[in-house]
Amino acid sequence: MISPEDKVRLTKQRFSNVDLLKAAVLQGEYSSDCAFFSRPFLWESVCNNTYGLNFKDDELLKVPKEGEEEDITDISHVKEELVRNSTENDPLSFDSNILDMMKLDIDRLLIDPLFHEERVKQDILQIMYNYNRFQPYKQGYHELCGIIYLQLYKENPDLHKSQIKIQTFNIFSSMMITLVPNFYDSDNLVGWCVSIFNKYLRLIDPPLYDLLIKTHKIESQVWLIRWVRLAFSREIGLDNTVKLWDFMLCYDHDFSKLFPFLIILFLMKLKLRIAECDDNGEVLYLLLHYPHTELSNEEVKTMIQWSIKFLTSPEDKLESLGTVLSKKLHKGIRWDKVKDLDRIKLELKLKRRVQSALKP
C-alpha cells in the first residue's frame, strides 16, 4: 500500500505543475482509480493555485470561551474576494448566539462517526469561527467543511490535527469564494434559479422543462437550494460528490458555472421517473430524495464533459445536443415527438409492471 507521502511524491513526479495536474484530472488520467491519487494534495494544490489562500495554523484565532473577550486581530493578507466584513465589525461581537448555532449544527453533523469525537468538533468549530470573520455563518457551511475535513483525515489519519485543520480551512475558504455569492445570498439564488437554471433547462430539454415548470408548476428554488448550497452532497451521496468536486475544481475558478448543467444531467437521467409521477408532490419527493447510485470515475468524467459542452456551445445548439443525450439515456423514446403525456405515463407504468412481473 502506498503511503500518503509517497502518493504526493509520485504525483509531483508525474505532473510537474498544477496546470498539468488539472488537465490530467479532466482527462480522467488522475482519479481515485489511480494508485497514487491523493485527493487532499489535489484539492490543496488547485485551491492554492487558483485562489491564492494559504493561511498558516498560527493565524487561526482560538474560539473564545464563555466570558472571554474576542480577539479582533486583523488578518491582512487574505484575498480580497474573501473579505466582506471588516474585522472591527466582526459579526460575532454583535450576536453571541452565532457561536451557539455553530456548536448545535456541528453536534448534528452526521456524515461520518468521526464527527462524534470532541476534538474534531472543536476543529470544525474553530474553522467556522474564523471563517465567520469574513462571511457571516449560515447553516450548510459546517457540512461542506466537514466533507473536506473527512477527505483529508481519511487520506492520512496520522497527520497532525493542526495540519488537517488549516488545510481544511484553506480549501473550504477557497471553495466558498464561488459558493457564497451565488447560492448563499437568497436574492442571488432566486435569480440564479430563474434566469440561469430554468433558462438552460428549457433550452436543453424542453419536454423536461414542460414537465417540471408547466405541468407540475414546481418552482425551481424550492428544491434547488439544497442541491447548490451543499454542492450536491445531500442528493447524490458523499462518494459521488467528492468525485464531482475533483473535476469541478480543476475546470474553472468559478466552478459553479457547471452547476446548472450537471443538475440538468441528473434530471435527464431521472426523466422517465418524473414522467410517471401523478402530481407535483411525487415529483418534489424525487427531486429531494434523488435515487442515486454510485458513479464510476468514467461516468463522472462523461457528465463533466457533457456539462462543459453545454456551457461552451451556442444557445441555439443546446436543444439538439439535449436531444442527442436524451436518446442515449432513454433509448426508444422520442421525447421531441411526445404530444400526449398521459399516454406516455401509462405506457411507462405498464412497462415497469411487466418488467417487475418478469423478474425471477
pLDDT for position 152: 97
Tell me the per-residue pLDDT of 312-323, one tens digit each, with 9 for 90 and over: 999 999 999 999
Q: What percentage of the chain exceeds 90 in pLDDT?
A: 78
Confidence at residue 95, expressed as pLDDT on a 0 to 100 scale? 58
Amino acid letter at 154? Answer: K
The whole-number pLDDT of residue 264 equals: 98
CA-CA distance, 120 to 265, in Å (whole number)? 36
pLDDT of residue 2: 93
- Please state the pTM of the whole predicted model: 0.88
Number of C-beta neighbours around residue 282 at 10 A: 14
pLDDT digits (tens, 9 = 90+) for 36-56: 999 999 999 999 999 999 999
pLDDT at 91 over 80: no
pLDDT confidence of 11, banded at 50, 70, 90? very high
Q: Which grid cell sits at 201?
A: 433547462
- Residue 1: the pLDDT is 86
Query: Which single residue is written with the C-alpha cell 460528490?
Result: 241
106-161 pLDDT, tens digit each? 999 999 999 999 999 999 999 999 999 999 999 999 999 999 999 999 999 888 77
CB 90 within 8 A of CB 69: no
CA distance 228 to 179: 8
Q: How far apart are CA 252 and CA 240, in angstroms?
A: 19
User: Is the pLDDT reported for residue 19 higher than 50?
Assistant: yes
Q: How far apart are CA 80 and CA 74, in angstroms?
A: 13
Rounded Cα–Cα distance for residues 250 and 255 (Å):
8
Q: What would the pLDDT profile of 165-219 be if each residue is shown by its tens digit?
A: 999 999 999 999 999 999 999 999 999 999 999 999 999 999 999 999 999 999 9
Which of 132, 202, 201 is CA-nearest to residue 173? 132
Radius of gyration of the chain (CA): 22
Could you give all domains of the chain from N- to C-terminal order, each with its CATH number? 1-37 (no CATH), 53-179 (no CATH), 185-358 (1.10.472.80)
